[in-house]
Amino acid sequence: MAIGPSQKIDLLLFGPRKRLIENGFSDSFRLHGAVDDKALAQLPADVAEQVRGIGVTSLVPLRAAQLARFPKLEIIATFGVGYDHIDLGYAREHRIVVTNTPDVLTEEVADTALGLLIATLREFIQADRYVRSGLWQTQNYPLSVGSLRDRKVGMVGMGRIGQAIARRLDASRVPVVYHCRNRVAGMLYPYYADLVAMARDVDTLMVITPGGASTAKLINAEVLQALGPRGVLINVARGSVVDEPALIQALRSGTILAAGLDVFADEPNVPEELRAMSNVVLLPHIGSASVVTRNAMDQLVVDNLKAWFAGKPPLTPVVETPVWSR
């Protein structure tokens, strides 16, 4: 519904405060904030009853019990390409449109994925520590066990970001194959319908598939066993996609060689076993975390909300919640 001449639209910004988002709306909007679940629960009932749009500023969960407090809610614009933290079933049932922020982060995340892969294989983090320790002054640094040469990468997921990673691997002359739920039309890379079969035929798995119930613990002990002792796992998707205890056991036992992880099952809590391992590179979920990219993501949250309340279609609706006529 478009904004009337004397009508203000009540919006809720849920999650950490972000200046670009807060400053992105004109006086036609009335903004309310809740930085976390506790603050959301304390939002006055008379305010909740007037909220028509929610901007989710980070990957904070927004479930049915919370959404039920907003009877006039029309749109949820969430920050990030993933949206498994939003209760899509409730949104569909109540004709609430959900949007995310794809495209603007694709190249940044792809850069991170390739950098994490190379850092893991060539042991760059260990080399940095070696120099800082002063050991280089007394002895030569040992050769890295891993290399990008003579590797074959199996992409687990081949959406926008997966394709951007594959382009970078092409430039590095690394063969690429892929697995996802369905073959991608027009895709020239070899497709595997069976993930275990792909893991058996490659020595590197790059995980960039959506989170949620359908992919929970997709990378399990069987997949890791198939990947084998030269195997390297890179995860820039969601922590839920990997069976974390199975991964720890595979790394500990030598079932696979190494892992590079930007995401974890219970962020920001990373298991001590992973933090203690020298064959694991750990990043604090920074796939898209540059100023230029995060600003573009913030702006897309704003632009989706403003488009909707100007009577236009949102820019980036997710497929699970189609844009219903108003």
How far out from the chain centre does Cα 102 lie?
Answer: 10
CB 78 within 8 A of CB 305: no
Residue 227 CA to residue 202 CA, distance in Å, equals 7
Does 285 qualify as catalytic in the annotation? yes
How far apart are alpha carbons 31 and 21 in whole angstroms? 10
Catalytic choice (92, 200, 230, 285): 285
C-alpha span between 71 and 95 (Å, rounded): 11
Dmax over CA atoms of the chain, in Å, equals 75
211-242 in b/e burial notation, b at 16+ Cβ within 10 A? bbeebeebbbeebbbbbeeebbbbbbbbbbbb
Length of the chain: 326
CB 258 within 8 A of CB 251: yes
Q: 221 by DSSP, 3-state: which? A: helix
Q: Which residue has the tokens 């236009």?
A: 312
Active site residue 179: no
Instruction: Give the active site residue among 238, 244, 275, 326.
Output: 238
Which of 253, 254, 255, 217 minimizes the C-alpha distance to 235? 217
Of 181, 267, 320, 326, the active-site residue reads 267
Active site residue 85: no
Edge-to-edge strand order for the sheet containing 97-99? 29-34, 9-14, 51-56, 75-78, 97-99
Residues involved in catalysis: 238, 267, 285
